[in-house]
Chains A and B, each alone.
Chain A
């Protein structure tokens, strides 16, 4: 009898627990999981929001990959996005490492610099875009002043060669604070005795950085590489606000093209197919990165050894 009561009580407790988390589960299923499967289904249809979706099999995917007349921006926007990723991710990680290392070296005004670097991360993308647009306007702002002073005609957003790199620099600048915060936490976690041991072995600042700091933060570098890559593949707002994808499509990222397709032209099936192309790309890059980037699977053991002080001979 006591056993039955205990079981009933346990079931009741479990039920109450489930009831408490049910709203969250419902939210997760309805707004997170269901759209993923729904959009996958929609990607095999022709749909304009208003009519009943018509099943077209793989036609959306085939048209996107093969019909360059009808979809002139598919490959182009994909290439723009890859270029943007190749510019922004390495730059972002490199600058993050340098700034974090500087802040970790107990410089004066560390708190001030931390705050200064973090401000853009908590500033709205629209505000950042507005500030940059004023700065780089060829007639007004900073670039305008330079143009007037030097008699030049610098128009950074108006050139296909400079618009995308500028966007990448903006992204690095605006994301730097968040990345530095994470990297700095990782650096603070490195065992100080490793630096002492390196010093005893005659290691200087640079040697300490490459032989202690870098291996110590390798998993964080990997994390930043993956998150920055995903972020760069989803780049949208700056391009939408500042260039609309121009000049000559040089800043039309894949996400911007998806946006145009779904909200501009109501080609929901095609846009869903594009979303899955992007999803697949992100998945592949993440898996490849996990395999080859520092901090990925292969390096995990080595990193752990460095952290535990078992790799001092490398110093």
Chain B
């Protein structure tokens, strides 16, 4: 009998412990904050220290959950479908519309209006726009970056400013080298396409935001430019399939951002390169695409006031500087985005004229499933290059059916 009793007690203890383990262990007054995990332990400690300082200053307790960026969206969605929901988190720019449209994130228009230390004009305009959906504000930008032109100084003396100058650089390339690489496939191709589109006067959506516009004459022109940059000679085709062709000195140009500067400096210390604004079609204003992290508050949170305090704290200069260090991006507040590195200053200059991705739900799928493959797999295919207009029209038909 005693054995049976012991077994029952052990079993009940096991069940109870399991249930306790499943409980969300945060208290009612602790803000749950999810952010991208910095890659180094030192930065992770610095992040925790930054949050600890906030708690010390305000008395507001924060549970910081650092999640690896690659699996962040996956983990966040799982958490939101369960019980361990965060009160606030980082959110990738193109997800704002998805989360806003279904009411997952809070409209913070009035919350932001009460902020005393920061105004809309303080931010890079396009970074701020990535948080506006349906006339309301659903988040605030923390870090931003923009794509710029990387060029190999051993192959090219100075950076081109127009598309014609860019294409003309091919003539002086040493044998075995090719002009351009780095558009990539799938989502990356769709993302970089926007930079070319903007530089010839086009946009991804029409002015009324009622249909995609990337298959118009500007879209065709932008795609044709990318195809011309890649070229169809065997050297270009081979170099395109090489991992890190630019770092290995095989191609003269690529598009990249601040994280690439760190990567090339560390992994390819002998590479002599520089960065410049992305060439535009006519040499007029240079546009680029923008990336970065926004911060949002969840509708279900009962601690919105405390979240507001934390956001305002994170938008201070010293906080933003630290957060930017963690990601390699720049503070989203224009005044704080400074650098002594000339290359980084080019990116800061480029951010003034960068274009945001459309803030419409399901844009990620349009980018990754329709536009990216149309460009990377069809138009740029070296085996069976498809007609540009037809490829873009097919992608546009699918996008319009999905979005509107």
A interface residues, Cβ below 8 angstroms from B:
12, 15-16, 19-20, 22-23, 48-51, 69-70, 72-73, 133, 137-140, 144, 147, 153, 155, 157-161, 244-249, 260, 263-267
Contacts and interface: CB of A to CB of B under 8 A. Distances in A.
Contact of A70 (B4, B240, B398): B398
A246 B376 contact: yes
A70 B402 contact: yes
A50 B91 CA distance: 14
Given A16-B3, A260-B368, A69 B237 contact: no
B238 A138 contact: yes
Interface stretch (B33-41, B77-85, B261-269, B302-310): B77-85
Given A49-B80, A50-B77, A158-B241, 7 more contacts: A69-B397, A70-B398, A153-B234, A155-B237, A161-B383, A246-B186, A265-B368
A15 B237 contact: no
Contacts of B98: 48, 266
Interface size class of B (residues with CB under 8 A): 35 or more
Contacts of B234: 153
A19 B6 CA distance: 11
Contacts, number: 106
A144 to B, nearest CB: 8
26 contacts: A12-B4, A16-B3, A16-B7, A20-B7, A49-B77, A50-B80, A51-B102, A69-B397, A70-B398, A70-B402, A72-B370, A133-B243, A138-B242, A139-B250, A140-B243, A140-B248, A155-B237, A158-B241, A160-B383, A244-B185, A247-B377, A248-B384, A260-B368, A260-B369, A265-B369, A267-B365
Given A48-B102, A70-B402, A73-B369, A248 B381 contact: yes
Contacts of B364: 264-265
Interface string B304-346: 0000000000000000000000000000000000000000000
Chain B facing A: main interface SS = helix
A244 B186 CA distance: 8
A15 B4 contact: yes
Contacts of B81: 49-50
Contact of A157 (B237, B241, B384): B241
Contacts of B102: 48, 50-51
Which 6 residue pairs across A and B have the least CB separation, nearest first?
A: A158-B241, A49-B77, A248-B377, A155-B241, A139-B242, A265-B365
B113 interface: no
Given A50-B102, A138-B238, A158-B241, A263 B80 contact: no
Interface in B83-102: 98-99, 102
Nearest to A72: B398
Given A48-B98, A266-B98, A22 B11 contact: yes
A147 B239 CA distance: 12
A248 B376 CA distance: 8
Interface of B: 3-4, 7-8, 11, 14, 73-74, 77-78, 80-81, 98-99, 102-104, 185-186, 234-235, 237-243, 245, 248, 250, 362, 364-365, 368-370, 373, 376-378, 381-384, 397-398, 401-402
A24 to B, nearest CB: 12
A246 B237 CA distance: 15
Contact of A147 (B238, B365, B381): B238
Contact of B398 (A16, A69, A160, A248): A69
A249 B241 contact: no
B77 A246 contact: no
Contacts of A144: 242
A249 B11 CA distance: 51
Nearest to A246: B185
B241 A16 contact: no
Contacts of B376: 246
Contact of B362 (A157, A260, A265): A265
